Structure 1
């Protein structure tokens, strides 16, 4: 509505100005030429008010919907109004800075693609353009598993067997939800990524989809394999992400209980950035389940830490091995059995009947309207709605809330 009011007001003003110039030419040729200059136009209005007043009234009438439209826009979307007033739309699309060296040539859905974010986490390689919850343009490639080291993969359209699933999505300015296309065959893919740091892979990336998708990408990429950031070989505790909090909590519990045998459950959803957080943490310490309240604090100098943490560091693994000797090997019969793959019999009905069994697992949901929601399952609320949360560029998390009757298809993406 605000856009229609602004456009209607501008059209009325333009029509009134054109009418005023025509009236000036009708008075005389000199007045007509002079009315093209604003100061002389005002002089013509003053000298020939009876003739010009109808056009002036039309111009004044156009300001009414223009002002109403701008007021509505300022109330609903002040950032968009600021961009219009500052003529940012004339400067072209602004590209956000990237932490990674990504040099890709080509297009996605027929449009230039310049991703600022790249990661390979939980077996999903994604390249995103834009910092909002929904990317302006995004490519996702679902691999069979998360690579431990280097990754080399070549896929041709005629190759038999199962292949990684490729998904492209884009968000047009007039859309609220992105459009997505997925395919599991008929494309060409080449990945040659080598380890460049504790959590960085870098190398060649080439992707060619069938012609109807208008997507061809080729070049060099860098991508993160987790949501930690490193500085001088150490984890940067100033970076706001759930993985940073997870690292801080694990290190604290290891030193507090003087053991490295700490298995930390996924932390609850948090809103970042923040200065203080109070979280209930579940962990298994030396095989014993523990439920502990932890208070996280953040300083600009040190980054994230646990309030009241004064525990000394653990001795190095080498020193411990020298004093304790080599640990005996665990007999094959003593090793724990591999848990069952919950993806095999997964369904919406099973999820609703036993939600705790799938807590914090990654899922992908397609609604009846064709929208896609992907993230970690965060339970079912009091209204029976499914909650899916997703990390946003390491800066926090957002949630999808879906009614069961809206779900057309649901997939569990990890065992």
Structure 2
């Protein structure tokens, strides 16, 4: 409602100014041309008040809904009012890409590769060049779950061409002229990879990166990278709860559940993304807490001081119990060194699968189509048209293959970790 009032008031003011300009031209050509400049227009109003007063009254009427709308918006979200008044919305949306500094030299598929964005989230390292949905050039390295801990402090990895076993899966993608979908190649072995990354608070991994693929891929790069470990916004090292993004809401909800149930073992499932980040937001949260699935409705509110928060949240900060600390200290050395495998069912969605299909290959999925049909089988990848290819084992020797376009899928669930 506040947006409609602001827009309506702004339109009335603009129409009033146009009407005032027409009246100036009707008075004389000199007044009309001069009124294109604000000081001359003000002089025209003072000198020719009887002619200009109708348009001035019309402009004044436009300020009424404009002020009411801004007042209503300020009571809900003062940050948006500040952005509206300082015209920061004209500068575009702040890109997360500006937060990382990547100094790589090399090529990808024979083309110079200058990535401006990097991340290592959910076990997938991404280096990306280009701001479109499909990057101009992109490198993805899906690390085995055994190599990535939930709270990664450092990562050192060396792979040689003769190595075998559980190795990172590498995928390179690049756009060709007049082509809607990118070209892609996947490499499972036969490459050289060196990673030496250290944690840099609050959410960066920084260090050396070196990659050489087999010669026919024409891909090699070496240098220093900075990789984001999450997509949150930070101010002075603290999470910015005022930032309107799904990642912010996920952080707020996870923190709330950890304090409410006094446990750090909270795995939040994907929830419906709000169309607009306008408080209040009513969301039904589903999460795995201490191994049990729980669903509970929550209402998210927002103010300038606290940012986004859960209504009725009065739970204290979670502090690990002494027994938990002692138990962790008594764990065998091998257990401490072995990172906990990531559960890929956490925050799984169709969009995540489309962005990084390699991470979910050969896993069981359950799909429900818009026509009401259901398919359960192993996801084996995307075809050339971007459709999901699912293989289902049948009683007789062999498999049945299903190809489903993303637009045909109403719901998809991952059945394996």
> TM class by shorter-chain length?
0.5 to 0.7
* CA shift for structure 1 position 359: 8.9
User: Match of 1:131?
Assistant: 131
1:29-82: CA deviations, max 9, x gaps? xxxxxxxxxxxxxxxxxxxxxxxxxxxxxxxxxxxxxxxxxxxxxxxxxxxxxx
User: Match of 1:243?
Assistant: 247
Select the structure of larger CA radius of gyration: 1
Instruction: Give structure 1 stretches of 5+ with no counterpart.
Output: 1-94, 333-338, 344-356, 388-399
Q: Is the 8 A contact 1:380 1:386 kept in 2?
A: yes
Q: Distance in 2 between matches of 1:271 and 1:153?
A: 39
Residue 295 of structure 1: which of 295, 299, 312 is its match? 299
Q: Is the 8 A contact 2:270 2:349 kept in 1?
A: no
Alpha-carbon distance change, 251 to 217 in structure 1, aligned in 2, over 3 angstroms: same
Q: Is the 8 A contact 1:274 1:298 kept in 2?
A: no
1:314 partnered with 2:302: no
Residue 369 of structure 2: which of 363, 381, 384 is its match? 381
Q: Distance in 1 between matches of 2:184 and 2:234?
A: 33
List, as ranges, runs of 4+ consecutive aligned residues in structure 1 with deviation greater than 4 Å: 284-289, 298-302, 324-332, 339-343, 361-366, 371-379, 400-404
User: Match of 1:164?
Assistant: 168
Q: Indicate the RMSD between aligned Cα atoms, in angstroms.
A: 4.6
Alpha-carbon distance change, 175 to 287 in structure 1, aligned in 2, over 3 angstroms: closer
User: Match of 2:3?
Assistant: none
* CA shift for structure 1 position 167: 0.7
Q: Distance in 1 between matches of 2:326 and 2:258?
A: 21
Q: Distance in 1 between matches of 2:246 and 2:169?
A: 27
User: Match of 1:180?
Assistant: 184
Could you say what secondary structure the match of 1:406 adopts?
Answer: strand
Could you say what secondary structure the match of 1:248 adopts?
Answer: helix
Q: Distance in 1 between matches of 2:239 and 2:349?
A: 25
Query: What TM-score, normalized by structure 2, do the two folds share?
Result: 0.54
Alpha-carbon distance change, 298 to 143 in structure 1, aligned in 2, over 3 angstroms: same
Matches within 5 A, 1:375-414: 379-383=367-371, 384=373, 402=388, 405-406=402-403
User: Match of 2:262?
Assistant: 259
Could you say what secondary structure the match of 2:180 adopts?
Answer: coil
Q: Is the 8 A contact 1:129 1:138 kept in 2?
A: yes
Q: Distance in 2 between matches of 1:228 and 1:166?
A: 26
Could you say what secondary structure the match of 2:266 adopts?
Answer: strand
Q: Distance in 1 between matches of 2:352 and 2:235?
A: 34
* CA shift for structure 1 position 192: 0.8
Query: What TM-score, normalized by structure 1, do the two folds share?
Result: 0.55
Q: Distance in 1 between matches of 2:325 and 2:104?
A: 51
Q: Is the 8 A contact 2:267 2:346 kept in 1?
A: no
User: Match of 2:21?
Assistant: none
Could you say what secondary structure the match of 2:167 adopts?
Answer: coil
Residue 348 of structure 2: which of 338, 360, 371 is its match? 360
Q: How many residues align?
A: 280
